[in-house]
């Protein structure tokens, strides 16, 4: 039987007494009624009795379209995309409800329409199969009007909430991309002086919480900062441009190492949230390059390659920057006599804390061994990142990574 399409729109009226005594509830119901009255349901069933029951039950809330086969349903959806929910019979000749559902979900423009199966099947396996095809619910026949109304309203509301959430996520994503672009431009570092350095950065996201700065002071001292803000991504990267600007300004003024450390610390203490800080190495290389002064706060131990080529760790510890105001760090600065050809490797913890599928971390010992082999082979610094990636064997990178090598 070819059932005609039925289109009914009825806006329920609220009694003046109810509207007067419960204005908020009345307004909510009126808005809900207005929203549902603008929605269209498609009912697909080869039983005139079921079609009539569904129409009678729901026509006061929704516009109803009915067809009696899966083929007709697909044809209607092909020419009319304004369907908000589909009630779909499972057992139909020609094309059953499962195949109809599968074909609907295969069309990108239709796959988000919620589908509720109407069925007399009682096998749990049939129900599970229908849900795997993309249906959101089952209603058993004979259809109970109360159940039908409740299920339809629930899934339409869930669909509305998902749609609004997606719109909000799209807006947030667009805003995030704008902010990331601004931070990337602000972090662009034409002042970075790469003389005597090799370095590389591997962020988790477009913006990195790690920071790497290098400059020469007017008096010939080389100044370095390798830092790791709390976390990674946008929240970790947002303070980077301010630190970069302050660091280069202090270097241009030939500030002492202690003054640079104290100034950056107070700046971060004033600007960061309580839960945020900057773990960092700050390094001063004397003009004659025979002495290095090093301060470390919350960072992994740097590696020192001596004149014999042996790789050793440098023990240096202190509080990260931004944790405590007005600090005197003079007692935390370590002085190292060095010779030409020696090297120092600074890095953030994203490499040594990278974990494989067994939960094993890369660790400093592995980095120390790999760096020694790299120096012997004369390979590029990129091999350190490659070795970390090989170790984690496809596991997702969870933290930013920075390596900076200083050659003396």
**Max CA distance (Å), the chain:** 97
Q: Which residues contact 407 (CB under 8 A, 6 or more apart)?
A: 196, 197, 198, 341, 343
Question: Quick check: 148 pLDDT over 50?
Answer: yes
The CATH architecture one would assign to domain 189-407 is: 4-Layer Sandwich (3.60)
Instruction: Supply the pLDDT for residue 175.
Output: 60
Q: Label residue 21 by pLDDT band (50, 70, 90).
A: very low
Instruction: Supply the pLDDT for residue 209.
Output: 72
Instruction: Supply the pLDDT for residue 256.
Output: 95
pLDDT averaged over every residue in the chain = 84
Domain boundaries, the chain: 16-168, 189-407
Which of these, 285, 256, 310, 257, lies nearest to 196 by C-alpha position? 285
Residue corresponding to tokens 């962020």:
203
Question: Which of 11-15, 184-188, 281-285, 324-328 shows the lowest per-residue confidence on average (mean pLDDT)?
Answer: 11-15
Instruction: Supply the pLDDT for residue 201.
Output: 81
Question: Quick check: 306 pLDDT over 80?
Answer: yes
Sign of the C-alpha dihedral computed for residues 214, 219, 220 and 221 taken in this order:
negative
Q: Label residue 318 by pLDDT band (50, 70, 90).
A: confident
- Is residue 306 within 8 Å of 328, Cβ to Cβ? no
Instruction: Supply the pLDDT for residue 253.
Output: 97
CATH topology of 16-168 equal to that of 189-407? no
Q: Whole-prediction pTM value?
A: 0.60
Instruction: Supply the pLDDT for residue 215.
Output: 95
Question: Quick check: 7 pLDDT over 80?
Answer: no
Higher pLDDT, 21 or 213: 213
Question: Quick check: 3 pLDDT over 50?
Answer: no
Higher pLDDT, 41 or 207: 41
Instruction: Supply the pLDDT for residue 62.
Output: 95
Instruction: Supply the pLDDT for residue 124.
Output: 67
Instruction: Supply the pLDDT for residue 179.
Output: 52
Question: Quick check: 13 pLDDT over 50?
Answer: no
Q: Label residue 49 by pLDDT band (50, 70, 90).
A: very high
- The torsion angles phi and psi of 216, rounded to 5 degrees, stand at -110, 135
Q: SS3 of 320, please?
A: coil
The domain 16-168 is classified under which CATH number: 3.40.640.10, 3.40.50.2300, 3.30.720.210, 3.30.365.10? 3.40.50.2300
Higher pLDDT, 397 or 173: 397
Question: Quick check: 187 pLDDT over 50?
Answer: no
Q: Average pLDDT for residues 144-149, to the nearest whole number?
A: 93
Label residue 149 exposed, middle or buried (CB < 10 Å: 0-12, 13-18, 19+): middle
Q: Average pLDDT for residues 266-271, to the nearest whole number?
A: 88
Question: Which of 237-251, 288-302, 362-376 shows the lowest per-residue confidence on average (mean pLDDT)?
Answer: 237-251
The per-residue b/e assignment along 195-220, b for 16 or more CB within 10 angstroms, e otherwise, is ebbebebbbbeebbbbbbbbbbbeee
Q: Label residue 394 by pLDDT band (50, 70, 90).
A: confident
Residue corresponding to tokens 């660091």:
247
- Is residue 244 within 8 Å of 225, Cβ to Cβ? no
Give the model confidence (pLDDT) of 59-90 as tens digits. Answer: 999 999 999 999 999 999 998 768 999 999 99
Higher pLDDT, 36 or 113: 113
Q: Label residue 243 by pLDDT band (50, 70, 90).
A: confident
Instruction: Supply the pLDDT for residue 128.
Output: 84
């Amino acid at each position: 039987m070819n059932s005609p399409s039925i289109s009914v729109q009825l806006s329920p009226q609220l009694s003046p007494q109810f509207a007067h005594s419960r204005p908020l509830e009345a307004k909510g119901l009126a808005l809900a009624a207005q929203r549902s009255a603008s929605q269209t349901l498609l009912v697909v069933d080869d039983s005139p009795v079921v079609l009539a029951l569904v129409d009678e039950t729901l026509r006061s809330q929704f516009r109803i379209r009915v067809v009696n086969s899966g083929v007709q349903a697909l044809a209607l959806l092909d020419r009319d995309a304004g369907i908000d929910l589909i009630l779909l019979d499972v057992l139909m000749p020609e094309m059953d409800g499962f195949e109809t559902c599968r074909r609907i979900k295969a069309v990108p423009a239709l796959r988000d329409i919620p589908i509720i199966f109407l069925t007399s099947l009682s096998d749990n396996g049939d129900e599970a199969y229908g849900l795997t095809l993309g249906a959101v619910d089952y209603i058993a026949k004979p259809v109970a009007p109360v159940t039908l109304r409740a299920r339809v309203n629930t899934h339409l509301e869930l669909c509305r909430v998902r749609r609004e959430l997606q719109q909000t996520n799209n807006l947030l994503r667009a805003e995030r991309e704008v902010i990331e672009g601004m931070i990337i431009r602000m972090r662009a570092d034409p002042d970075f002086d790469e003389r005597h350095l090799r370095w590389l950065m591997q962020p988790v996201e477009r913006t990195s919480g790690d920071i790497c700065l290098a400059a020469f002071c007017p008096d010939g001292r080389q100044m370095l900062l390798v830092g790791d803000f709390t976390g990674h991504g946008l929240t970790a990267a947002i303070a980077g441009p301010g630190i970069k600007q302050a660091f280069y300004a202090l270097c241009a003024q030939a500030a002492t190492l202690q003054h640079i450390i104290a100034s950056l610390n107070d700046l971060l203490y004033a600007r960061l949230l309580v839960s945020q800080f900057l773990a960092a190495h700050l390094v001063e290389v004397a003009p004659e390059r025979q002495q290095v002064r090093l301060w470390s706060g919350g960072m992994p131990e740097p590696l020192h390659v001596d004149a014999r080529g042996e790789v050793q760790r440098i023990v240096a510890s202190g509080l990260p920057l931004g944790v405590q105001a007005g600090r005197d760090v003079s007692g935390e600065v370590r002085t190292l006599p060095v010779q030409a050809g020696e090297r120092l490797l600074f890095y953030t913890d994203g490499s040594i804390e990278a974990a494989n599928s067994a939960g094993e971390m890369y660790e400093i010992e592995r980095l120390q061994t790999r760096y020694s082999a790299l120096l012997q082979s004369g390979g590029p610094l990129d091999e350190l990142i490659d070795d970390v990636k090989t170790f984690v064997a496809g596991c997702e990178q969870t933290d930013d990574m920075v390596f900076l090598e200083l050659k003396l």
